[in-house]
Amino acid sequence: MRFSKFCATLLSTALLTGQSVAQSSFQNAAPSDNAPATVDENIGTPAMWRVTDADSEFFLLGTFHILPPELKWRTPAFEEAFKKAETVYFEVDSNNANEAAKATHAIMTQGINPDGGRITNLLTDENATKFRQIVSELNLPLSGIDTLRPWRASLSLSYKFIKDLGFNPESGVESALTGEARGNGKKMQFFETISQQLSFFANLSPETEMNMLVETIENWEDQKEGMYSLLEAWSTGNVDFLKDEMITSMRDNHPEAYKALIVDRNKAWAEEIAQVMNAESGVAMVAVGAGHLVGGENSVPALLAAMGFEVSRYGLETAANDNTLQEAGDDIGDLLQAVGEE
């Protein structure tokens, strides 16, 4: 199976951005024929880490920004950590109306080919034909998608495909936690703005953003299987699979994107966390895309460990001793099988 590694990284690191981009591209688009079956009971155990010094404790949760509504991912270990956390850190504040307006402006100014060029004129004949087919399958207007820059088109196609599978941004980890954190009076902090996230894509070189789109097109048939493989890995805390599929391949094949989307952002976040832990005491939680926590020496946990903090996986013992969570793999497998039969 080959699955677009750009798409994989998108799903775990910047799908909140993809959501803003995509919604502006297909506000009135009808759903495609990719809707999954409904599964009543599915339990996930996403990976977490614990970071400590003498008087501070941070819990790191690797998130999936858009999930099937049926999936239950809140483990006892997570519940305990979230209850203790006084502050919760997210990538962006997707509910900030002012930021949303800025993002819309950025999308319109940075996401459209400035010279009026069309994507289909930049692709090979074979890929242009396949691009048109994909757009048609997703019930999107070719006239609108064809004038986008390649990075925006890639995000829009991938997001629409995922949403049509039955995944819902309202079921994503961040959507659940932002409302709950606000309702419980927890302090919320955000590492980036939506406009900043958009700039990471908009500032990619023309060659890299075209590679992003071409990889998405050429591996389109693997999108569904790849998406659910990622979901299963995230749901069962399989950090090795996530690292190999999302991070290692991007590092080896697309170094510019790897640096812009993963390394530079991880370093900035780790430095911000370190500054807070060195200056203050207390308990906090960080909820960011899973790809940022599993990337080896440049992952956020590894960077914090290199700074001298105590870092360890969190919640493994609790999961191992919980009979309900022991059945998570079977439940997730049932969900994947049900979707795969559609």
- Please state, rounded to an integer, the average pLDDT across all residues of the chain: 84
- For residues 131 and 116, give the distance between their C-alpha atoms in angstroms, rounded to a whole number: 18
pLDDT grade for 104, boundaries at 50, 70 and 90: confident
> Is 312 inside any structural domain?
yes
- For residues 3 and 308, give the distance between their C-alpha atoms in angstroms, rounded to a whole number: 36
Nearest Cα to 61, choosing from 12, 9, 6, 19?
A: 12
Domain limits for position 131: 5-25+60-340
If one counts every other C-beta atom within 10 angstroms of the C-beta of residue 112, the result is 15
Q: Is the pLDDT of residue 108 over 90?
A: no
- For residues 140 and 167, give the distance between their C-alpha atoms in angstroms, rounded to a whole number: 18
pLDDT grade for 246, boundaries at 50, 70 and 90: confident
> Is 293 inside any structural domain?
yes
- Per residue in 33-42, pLDDT (tens digit) is 554 433 334 5
- Per residue in 181-215, pLDDT (tens digit) is 999 999 999 999 988 888 999 999 999 999 999 99
**CA distances to 87, 178, 239, 242 from 189, in Å:** 7, 10, 26, 26
Q: Is the pLDDT of residue 322 over 70?
A: no
**CA distances to 103, 163, 239, 285, 302 from 80, in Å:** 35, 31, 22, 11, 23
End-to-end CA distance of the chain: 19
- Phi/psi for 317 (5° steps) reads -65, -40
> Is 33 inside any structural domain?
no
> Is 51 inside any structural domain?
no
* Contact between 26 and 306 (Cβ < 8 Å): no
Does the pTM of the predicted model rise above 0.75?
yes
Handedness of CA 215, 23, 72, 47 (dihedral sign): positive
User: Looking at residues 123-151, what average pLDDT do you find?
Assistant: 96
Query: How many residues in the chain?
Result: 342
- For residues 57 and 277, give the distance between their C-alpha atoms in angstroms, rounded to a whole number: 8
Q: Is the pLDDT of residue 114 over 60?
A: yes
What angle do the packed helices 125-137 and 206-218 form, to 10 degrees?
A: 70
Query: What order do you get walking across the sheet with 187-190 strand by strand?
Result: 187-190, 87-90, 282-289, 56-63, 48-52, 310-314
> Is 39 inside any structural domain?
no
Token pair, residue 308, equals 């001298």
> Is 124 inside any structural domain?
yes
| pLDDT confidence of residue 35 | 46
Write the secondary structure of the chain as one string of H (helix), E (strand) and C (coil). CCCCHHHHHHHHHCHHHHHHHHHHHCCCCCCCCCCCCCCCCEECCCCEEEEECCCEEEEEEEECCCECCCEECCCHHHHHHHHHCCEEEECCCCCCHHHHHHHHHHHHHHCECCCCCCHHHHCCHHHHHHHHHHHHHCCCCHHHHCCECHHHHHHHHHHHHHHHCCCEHHHCHHHHHHHHHHHCCCEEEECCCHHHHHHHHHCCCHHHHHHHHHHHHHCHHHHHHHHHHHHHHHHCCCHHHHHHHHHHHHHHHCHHHHHHHHHHHHHHHHHHHHHHHHHCCEEEEEEEEHHHCCCHHHCHHHHHHHCCCEEEEECHHHHHCCHHHHCHHHHHHHHHHHHHCC
| pLDDT confidence of residue 342 | 46
User: Looking at residues 43-67, what average pLDDT do you find?
Assistant: 93
Q: What is the domain count for the chain?
A: 1
> Is 32 inside any structural domain?
no
User: Looking at residues 263-287, what average pLDDT do you find?
Assistant: 97
Q: Which comes out higher in pLDDT, residue 227 or 306? A: 306
> Is 199 inside any structural domain?
yes
